[in-house]
């Protein structure tokens, strides 16, 4: 009978050791998940800050491009007046006008690209917020 108690006591000790080890592993996993979640939040916050800065800079670039586009339009008009006044320089002026038109088209294309970039940034920010919401659903005890 005493031998049966010894076997049961050994089993209880063994179970306690395994339970202790499992508890330690669970605590380590929770700690790791907590660290990962904190790092994710930090990365998302940094990404959001960079996204906001990029949006601000994109807005400034867009304003500058609009000013450049307006100036290019004005220059095109001046060049057309020059062509009418100086027929002898028609070939040269035609090339300048063509280059300005090309530059204007490039500016319009760049402006469209900036608008598209803004849209993509907005999508990324929305996804970042969505991911942040999902990460915030994790509960660490």
Structural domain including 85 reads: 2-136
Tens digits of residue pLDDT in 26-69: 899 889 988 988 988 898 888 889 888 888 988 888 898 899 88
- Residue at 97 is within a domain: yes
State if pTM tops 0.85: no
Question: Within a domain: residue 54?
Answer: yes
Specify if 9 maps to a domain: yes
Token pair in block for residue 12: 């209880």
In a domain, 34, yes or no: yes
Residue 15 lies in a domain: yes
> Does residue 141 sit within a domain?
no
Distance, in Å, from the CA atom of 68 to the CA atom of 90, rounded to the nearest integer, reads 25
Asked, for residue 67, whether it belongs to a domain, the answer is yes
pLDDT in tens, 105-134: 988 898 898 889 889 888 998 998 888 888
The total domain count for the chain is: 1
Q: Which of 133, 118, 140 is nearest to 44 (CA)?
A: 133
- For the stretch 93-103, pLDDT in tens is 677 788 889 98
Domain assignment present for residue 40? The answer is yes
């Amino acid at each position: 009978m005493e031998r049966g108690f010894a076997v049961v006591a050994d089993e209880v000790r063994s179970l306690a050791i395994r339970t202790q080890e499992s508890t330690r592993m669970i605590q380590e996993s929770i700690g790791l998940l907590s660290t990962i979640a904190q790092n994710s939040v930090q990365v998302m916050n940094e990404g959001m800050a960079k996204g906001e800065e990029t949006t601000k800079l994109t807005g400034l670039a867009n304003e500058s491009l609009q000013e450049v586009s307006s100036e290019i339009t004005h220059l095109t008009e001046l060049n057309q007046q020059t062509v009418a006044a100086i027929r002898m320089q028609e070939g040269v002026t035609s090339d300048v006008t063509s280059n300005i038109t090309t530059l204007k088209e490039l500016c319009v294309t760049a402006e469209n690209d900036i608008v598209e970039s803004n849209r993509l940034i907005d999508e990324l920010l929305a996804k970042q917020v969505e991911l942040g919401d999902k990460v915030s659903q994790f509960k660490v005890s």
